[in-house]
Chains A and B, each alone.
Chain A
C-alpha cells in the first residue's frame, strides 16, 4: 500500500484524520494500528496524540508550530515508510475476565435472540475476543467478534447510567464499562476487574490487538 490510497481530512484546527478506507474490516483495522505504531515510533515534532479507529487514525497536533498542510504531508510520508518497513506488532496479551452473568438485560437478550439464558452465557463465554479499539471513555475496549446468534442492535433508549464493571453486548461487539456512564448496550453481566487505573502504566488494562476471554463465575 502507498500513501496514494490514504486521504487526510481536517478535524478542526488542531487535528487531522488520515482515512484508510470506507469499509470496515479486520484487515483495514490492522493497517490503521500498524500505521499508528509507525507514527508513534517516528516521534514527529508537535504531535500530541494518535487515536486509531476503524477507518481512520486521527493525529492531534499543536497548530502554533505546524500548519495543516505541513503536518498532513509529514504524516502521510511517515505512514508510507511505516507500512513499507513492516513495523513489528507489539506483543499482544491474553486476558481472562471473570464475569458474573447477572445483567439486567440477560433475560431480554435471551428472548430477543430466541436462546435460553444458559445458551446466551455459554456463547458469550466460549470465545476469545480481539481488542479492536480503546476509546469513548477511559479504558473502554471494543471487543470483536461476538457470536452471530447474539447480535442485537443497540437499545433504542440509551440508559442515563450504566454501572462500572457492567459487561455488555451490541451488534457484533462486547465490552466492559470501565466507569459509570450513559450507555445503550445490553447489560448481561458484571466484573470486578479494574479496566482503568490512572495511576497504572499503561492506565488501561486492555490494549488493541490483545485478546480477552470471559470466565463465568457464580
Chain B
C-alpha cells in the first residue's frame, strides 16, 4: 500500500488508457504523457502498461507502507525521500514507512510515480485509468485525497538494481519547442494561408488547458467553418472552433465532435505538448504519416530498451531477458 499523507492539488491513477471502448463514447483517457508513464514503469521493472500516479499542479507527500522500488519521470521536480534528494528516471529504494515528497514541480506539467508491482485498482473497460468527468476508473473514479491508501500489485520476483538510471537520449526532447503534426484529415476545408499560419507562427498554451484539450493562443486561422456533422476525433487532433484559435485535443477529449480538424499532433510528440505549461510556446512542423509512424516506433523501441537495461541491471540477472 501507499498512503497519501499530503495530497497535491491534482493526483490520479493512470495507465495507457482505454483503447477499445470509443464506440460507446469512452475517450482513450489514460496518462497525458504516454511516454513518461511507460518509461517510469520500465525503469522499475513493471509491465509498461501498469498503473502509476499522475501528479500535477504542486507539491505533496505519499508514504510507502511496504518496501518499494520506485521512480519518477515526466515533469521535473524537486523531490525527496525522507529528506534525501530523489533523481528523475532513476530507481530509488524506499523502506516501509518512508515518505516521498514533491516540494515543487520545476518544469513540465505532469509527473509520474511508478512503484514496483504497479498500482492495483480494478480494471474497468480494459484499463485502470481514472476518467474524472465520468467518475469511474482509477481510485473510486476520483482524484486522490489526503488519507487515501491505495493497494500495490505483487512485487516482481526480480527487480532492477537500486540507482538504475535511464539514459537521457532515450527520452523525448521535452525542451524542444517543435511539435510535429500530420495533415490529411480535413485538408479540403483549409486553404494555403491557414496552413502557413499554423506552421509558421508560435502558439502559446492558454490557461484554458486541461486533460480534455489545450487552447492555443496566437494568430487565428481566419475562417469560420462552423460545425460539421460529428466525426471521430482523437488525442492530438487540432480543431478550429468559430474564433479561429486552435484547440489541441488531449487524453480525455470527446470521441466525436463537429469542429473542423486541420491536423493531428504526431503521437510521438504528444508528450512534449502535454508537458507544456500555460504561457509556454510551441511551433508546429508538418511531417508525413510515415515519418510520424517511424517516430512512434522509435519511441516504442526506446521503451523496450529501457526495460531490457533495467532487467540487466538486476543483481539476479542471469543473461536471459
Contact = CB atoms under 8 A, between A and B. Distances in A.
Interface of A: 9-15, 17, 24, 36, 48-58, 60, 63-64, 67-68, 133-140, 142, 178-181, 196, 198-199, 202-204
Given A138-B131, A179-B134, A198-B136, 14 more contacts: A10-B264, A11-B261, A12-B264, A12-B266, A13-B266, A13-B289, A13-B293, A51-B22, A54-B230, A58-B231, A64-B293, A64-B296, A68-B293, A135-B255
Given A13-B266, A179-B134, A55 B231 contact: yes
B264 A68 contact: no
A13 B232 CA distance: 14
A181 B132 CA distance: 11
The interface size bin for chain B is: 35 or more
Contact of A10 (B19, B20, B185): B185
Contact of A49 (B23, B124, B290): B23
Contacts of A63: 267, 293, 296-297
A9 B136 CA distance: 33
A138 B25 CA distance: 4
Interface in B284-298: 289-290, 292-293, 296-297
Contacts of A204: 24-25
B292 A134 contact: no
B231 A137 contact: no
The 6 closest A-B pairs by CB, nearest first: A12-B264, A58-B232, A135-B256, A54-B229, A13-B292, A51-B232
Contacts of B229: 24, 53-55
Nearest to B184: A10
A53 B231 contact: yes
A136 B256 CA distance: 5
B88 interface: no
B237 A138 contact: no
Contacts of B297: 63-64
A11 B19 contact: no
A45 B293 CA distance: 17
A142 B26 CA distance: 15
A60 B22 contact: yes
A164 to B, nearest CB: 9
B74 interface: no
A176 to B, nearest CB: 12
Contact of B290 (A53, A54, A67, A178): A67
B289 A134 contact: no
A97 to B, nearest CB: 17
A140 B19 contact: no
A58 B229 CA distance: 14
Given A64-B296, A64-B297, A11 B230 contact: no
B232 A11 contact: yes
Interface in B125-149: 125, 131, 133-137
28 contacts: A10-B185, A10-B264, A11-B261, A12-B292, A13-B264, A13-B268, A17-B185, A24-B229, A48-B20, A49-B19, A49-B20, A49-B21, A54-B230, A55-B229, A56-B231, A58-B232, A67-B290, A133-B230, A135-B22, A135-B256, A136-B255, A137-B133, A138-B134, A139-B25, A142-B230, A179-B135, A198-B137, A203-B26
B58 interface: no
A54 B229 CA distance: 6
B227 to A, nearest CB: 8
Contact of A198 (B125, B185, B292): B125
B185 A13 contact: no
Contacts of B296: 13-14, 63-64
A24 B182 CA distance: 27
Contacts of A136: 25, 230, 254-257
B289 A15 contact: no
